Structure 1
């Protein structure tokens, strides 16, 4: 039996929770389709899975049934090498096309189309964009989500967590429709991970089907349903990470203690630090200038042999490849120490700096550690970064969702914990102007 946590139900009226428990309504609109950017490359190879061929539209290939197609961009032209269905020993045929040609491939085979090491359903569109071949997968949102849920979460996690992931991913995807030219979302963590047909399993399909068409809205609009792997104990308010503070993306307690990245460490030697901070010759000390309410680094100063550098927490994470910005610093081998600046109580931390007792600033004078004689062998200190969590920390924590599900929370309670004050209801055409009403004979997209 689920025992509500105080933080889970805080501020949620009983009437609202009761209203969310009702059956979903029928939505009289066609199921939206997603356009997912899979790849940008100079060369693309696609092939049929087995006996059922690829069908191509565009480039004058409409009458051909293909087993394999290679597309290259050479000197501003598309070169196509293809193998018609039949004898695999037959040599490849070639055709040259204008770079403005749009190719669309599909198959009747439920095993989909191979692209690199993955298989995809729906239609694959090939166009030239920024002097590269762009591959976009167009498919219904529910089929897309079955793969996203399996790509973002282990399929053997509790069903309530998988359902919460399905609703969050559906909301996020629908909100992105039409925002980018030629595609809606990317197949990577830049949007949400989508790995094609292999990641769709009976359990992820159940999670998607049982929440069919459900989305989260706030003030009548789809929310920005961002999520991350693990928060390290508390999620972050959106305004601490991005420019705007959204009313539903506030900091809440998280329960991700079982996450393998709840606590982590990373070490960097002198050479790695020189690569990360090349413009200042490496790093000798780190001064944290500002943190968020949850302890994530917002601004810090890196002191190197050739100067100093002010970085945001996000920039620091990118330079060092850190899992999150909820970090502290220490030097190994006992050389520099992590000390609070003398005379300060504003939370500023100084790493690798020592007081100068003879300096004019008295107790507040801080200088780098004195150099050792050149004749002595000087051990190179190693920076150890001690962190918590994985990701930006905003919105739903996936490991936290798992923990809540294991305590008995259903997917609605999980979502209401991480996205405060939202309404969970079936998607409406008015939520997204890009979704057209279905022709009268088309089946409804049912919630």
Structure 2
């Protein structure tokens, strides 16, 4: 080997080493752009989630009562701006209830628990605010049946009239006349213990008075008092005070309306027939009384009124805007365990779980105190939060591996909205959804969203021999080899009793359009994908259905009847931004409102077929637009005889030679792609990217542009 050759080899090796170093350096630089950086963004230790709250037109989720229990018991705490005071304990597995101490229709007082429960059940048939309360009166145990948690005496009075006219307590002997019960009362005491207060309440009850033990904060501690009476206003309190004094309670006073308290009622509503009382804490609407329930052990808290789901953290009960408010305060990361578990599939790739975790954390952090006494709510108005039962190991791992990470722009957490499925392309917010300049949202970018369609069969849209139309799944049909006179294929049914559906989906609770037997020949009108979150066709809607739905949202009412409905504008992604009813544009506000305005469509990436709209040219060349031009339609058969079109379906050949099913009166069929508003990350798209090997940072930066992923302080 010559010296020159040796030098060449050495140079070549040097070049290789240099190239390798450059490649490593490039990899390091590339990696550094994807690293999570630490920043000043603060992720709190806990988050407040409202289950029930009344914020007027902004958000309402209402309940008259909240029922809690925990496997290891509960500790109750009275909270005020300065401190928290122990308010007692609830035994393991024992329920405790909370309600607003408002106005109620008092329908019955009886010594017969069975009769009280019978009346309760009648009221519960149309109200979720019915109660049976146990008291001691005149030496007897009595049961009062009430309905309502009303904010005014007038509302309770109207309810009382309704229930009285309905005769719900008819035939049951009552110890008092039906009346309005309210939160006005006289106060006796104070007492050192609950037992002493209960004894005093029983003594007052034996004098024929309604009396309840109550908790009251005084000088940084909680004491017990007795609240006597359930009056609808203050006018009866002076006379009531005299009655209390006559019963031996000379210290009775009329409390100021703003003094905080919570009354303790013996509630029989849950376990009345079993005679197992439950304590109900009645919280006043005026003072800022807040009761907090914390699990005594490591278990969660079951909230009956939220589908009996169990949640981590504590529950706070208060009254806000004359309604009971229930707020869950929970560790931030543990909150995300449930959110990620509820929002995406438990078996989805880990990188999709991590992308969802960062998006959900960013969204929640950007919400601030968006719900007055809470950061977020538990529904998809914020993001789905369904408790411990929706947690899974994969979701928890995704949260833990991204702990504290948020997407930011300009040093602030972004409002990282996401949806289930973008239908193949994300939305443009400025034009298509809610408006505004959200510069962190990628607009109208392709998204691999067809995952829900994988493994599903196609369906055929067919005409039956009876003239009816509907959908049959492809595995229940075969090609007959025969052709209809129109040129369309005849398909043969392969199973007895085959269901013909109104849309390409099996819904067990919906009766089929028809059932057909083996060997039946049907005419193929079309072939579509099975109904899914990616591709869907809804049941035909009638003009009346759509008119009702549209007029709930339309800024100006649409005058019926509804004859035509068409798409008149689309945005950059193809989503509908304007529709016209009877040729007049319909204003429903933000573009995404069209989903609700059209009977809760899955997305605004849709088309509408008007089965009752078509153009006819007769033998004389006269053009007629249906349904704009009214009048009956006549057809002439091959034998020269004429007749009216059938009332349901008729079949026309269109200008392209295709057979089309039409109706003689308007019907509207919506078909489309995607599920949700389509902004930001598509969850199904994130799954597909993860399956293709992309990491969570790539996924997030694909759907959210010009953002940083930072580790919260």
Global fold match (TM > 0.5): yes
Question: Which residue does 2:391 correspond to in 1?
Answer: 200
Question: Which residue does 1:425 correspond to in 2?
Answer: 710
* Alignment length (residue pairs): 387
**Counterpart pick for 1:71 among 73, 77, 98:** 98
Q: Determine the C-alpha separation between the residues in 2 that align with 1:282 and 1:273.
A: 10
Q: Determine the C-alpha separation between the residues in 2 that align with 1:140 and 1:286.
A: 49
Displacement of 1:391 in angstroms is 0.9
Alignment of structure 1 residues 9-408 onto 2, 5 Å: 17-22=30-35, 31-39=44-52, 40-50=61-71, 52-58=72-78, 62-66=87-91, 67-73=94-100, 74-75=102-103, 77=183, 80-81=264-265, 91-93=277-279, 96-99=282-285, 100=287, 101-116=289-304, 117-240=308-431, 241-251=433-443, 252-259=445-452, 260-266=532-538, 267-277=540-550, 279-303=558-582, 309-311=586-588, 313-319=591-597, 320-332=599-611, 335-337=612-614, 368-373=627-632, 378-379=647-648, 380-408=665-693
Structural RMSD (CA): 3.3
Q: Write out per-residue CA displacement over residues 256-276 of structure 1, whole angstroms, 9 at most, x where no aligned residue.
A: 012332111112123422432
Summarize the Cα distance change of 1:171–1:331 in structure 2 as closer, same or farther, 3 Å threshold: same
Is contact 2:344-2:683 (8 Å) kept? Answer: yes
SS at match of 1:268: coil
Is contact 2:595-2:604 (8 Å) kept? Answer: yes
Q: Determine the C-alpha separation between the residues in 2 that align with 1:82 and 1:159.
A: 49
Q: Determine the C-alpha separation between the residues in 2 that align with 1:157 and 1:406.
A: 9
Question: Which residue does 2:492 correspond to in 1?
Answer: none
SS at match of 2:593: helix
Q: Determine the C-alpha separation between the residues in 2 that align with 1:205 and 1:216.
A: 19
SS at match of 1:387: strand
Question: Which residue does 2:223 correspond to in 1?
Answer: none
Summarize the Cα distance change of 1:80–1:152 in structure 2 as closer, same or farther, 3 Å threshold: farther
Is contact 1:102-1:126 (8 Å) kept? Answer: yes
Larger RCO, structures 1/2 (Cα 8 Å, 6+ apart) = 1
- What TM-score results when the alignment is normalised by the length of structure 2? 0.50
SS at match of 1:206: helix
Q: Determine the C-alpha separation between the residues in 1 that align with 2:579 and 2:699.
A: 34
SS at match of 2:451: coil
Displacement of 1:90 in angstroms is 5.3
Any gaps of 5 or more consecutive residues in structure 1? 1-12, 338-352, 429-447
Summarize the Cα distance change of 1:329–1:23 in structure 2 as closer, same or farther, 3 Å threshold: closer
Displacement of 1:226 in angstroms is 0.6
Is contact 2:542-2:666 (8 Å) kept? Answer: yes
- What TM-score results when the alignment is normalised by the length of structure 1? 0.77
SS at match of 2:709: strand
Q: Determine the C-alpha separation between the residues in 1 that align with 2:387 and 2:684.
A: 23
SS at match of 1:147: helix
Q: Determine the C-alpha separation between the residues in 2 that align with 1:384 and 1:141.
A: 44
